[in-house]
């Protein structure tokens, strides 16, 4: 058996910072995910924010302005041997999003199910296209 290298980062915690739901049709939704990041070099900690918005899709595939659900999730990651934003390995951005997204899916499903309203179940998504957005939207704090 070969030795496996330990990852340079670990997932510490997540928190839902805000959540809103307005009763509406969840048959067809337009989903928007907006990732942002902040790396604290003193703590070697990365805070990833994932803002989720679900808009109702009307007949004729017109996207309404009616926000059915909105949530803001914050995930905290800790790095080892990383002291600057430039030191963060490139694979972190894609993997970090993939790590916190299931928490968002579970939260939305549980909240809507327990509220006895139409359960909002997000499908699985290929989130790799969010990697470049996260890199662009990441800042370093000291």
pTM over 0.85? The answer is yes
Q: Is the pLDDT of residue 35 over 90?
A: yes
Residue 5, pLDDT > 90, answer: no
Tens digit of each residue's pLDDT (9 = 90 or more) over 37-59: 999 999 999 999 999 999 988 77
Has domain 9-80+89-133 been given CATH number 3.10.420.10?
A: yes
Domain ranges of the chain: 9-80+89-133
Would you give the end-to-end CA distance of the chain in angstroms?
Answer: 41
Residue 6, pLDDT above cutoff 90: no
Across the chain, what does the average pLDDT equal? Answer: 89
Q: pLDDT by residue (tens digit) across 60-81?
A: 777 777 888 999 999 999 999 8
CA distance 112 to 98: 22
CA distances from 51 to 29, 48, 62, 73 (A): 16, 10, 22, 6
Instruction: Provide mean pLDDT across the span 106-133.
Output: 88
The two most distant CA atoms of the chain are separated, in Å, by 56
């Amino acid at each position: 058996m070969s030795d496996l290298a330990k990852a340079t980062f670990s997932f510490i915690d997540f928190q839902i910072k805000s959540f809103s739901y307005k009763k509406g049709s969840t048959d067809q939704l337009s989903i928007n995910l907006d990732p942002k990041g902040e790396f604290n070099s003193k703590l070697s900690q990365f805070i990833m924010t994932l803002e989720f918005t679900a808009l109702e899709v009307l007949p004729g595939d017109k996207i309404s302005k009616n926000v059915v659900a909105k949530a803001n999730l914050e995930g905290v990651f800790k790095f080892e041997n990383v002291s600057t934003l430039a030191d963060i390995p490139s694979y972190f951005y894609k993997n970090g999003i993939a790590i916190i997204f299931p928490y968002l899916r579970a939260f939305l499903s549980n909240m809507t199910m327990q509220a006895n309203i139409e359960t909002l179940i997000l499908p699985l998504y290929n989130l790799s296209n969010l990697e470049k957005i996260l890199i662009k939207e990441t800042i370093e704090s000291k």
